[in-house]
Amino acid sequence: MNKLLWLCGIIAFAVISCSEGNRGSVKGKDALRAYDSVLIGRDPGFSRHLTDVYWMLYKNGIVTKCTQSVFVSDDGKDTVTTVRFNDDSARRVQELVDDMFVKGTVKDVVAVKDNNHCSDMGGLYIYIYYPGKTVRYEYDWGRTGVKYSSEFNELMKLIEVF
């Protein structure tokens, strides 16, 4: 009985040790199918704009830019304008999000020199919706000592944050 228990324990340990985690098992083209959608939005900080702009990336390759008025329209119509992108920039946004946040093969932050902080500069938030869970990344533009990677800066230019 004791030997059987040890044998079951060794088999269970071997199975667990040889299996990959969810993030590590995502390979190549399957990486974009691993998540349902990605929401990228800006936090305005203390300076509020008249519109909120956010981007939605879907697992089928569709990339949309949504602009929503902060104020409700007088006639009750929807204040969200959605523009769909199917060009090279949309594919590049998908690639960068995949590399940085899904596969983890590209860094977003290269260096942090100090922890100086200004709280009113706003920031960026990224929600990645997986089946059954949500992962959130947050960037605070008030952190003055942070150096971002060239890929992260390219993503910010493509989604018109900088």
User: What is the C-alpha separation between 45 and 51, in angstroms, rounded?
Assistant: 13
Q: What is the pLDDT of residues 6-58, one digit of tens each?
A: 544 555 444 444 433 444 444 444 444 578 899 898 877 676 667 778 888 88
Who's near 8: CB < 8 A, 6+ residues apart?
A: none
73-112 pLDDT per residue, tens: 666 666 667 777 767 888 888 899 989 988 889 998 888 8
> Is residue 90 within a helix (H) or strand (E), and if so which, with residue range?
helix 88-97
What are the Cα distances from residue 126, in Å, to 55, 80, 150?
9, 19, 18
Whether the CB-CB separation of 100 and 152 falls below 8 Å is answered with yes
Q: Cβ distance 149 to 110 under 8 Å?
A: yes
Residue 102 backbone zone (phi > 0: left; psi -120 to 50: alpha; other: beta): alpha
pTM greater than the 0.85 cutoff: no
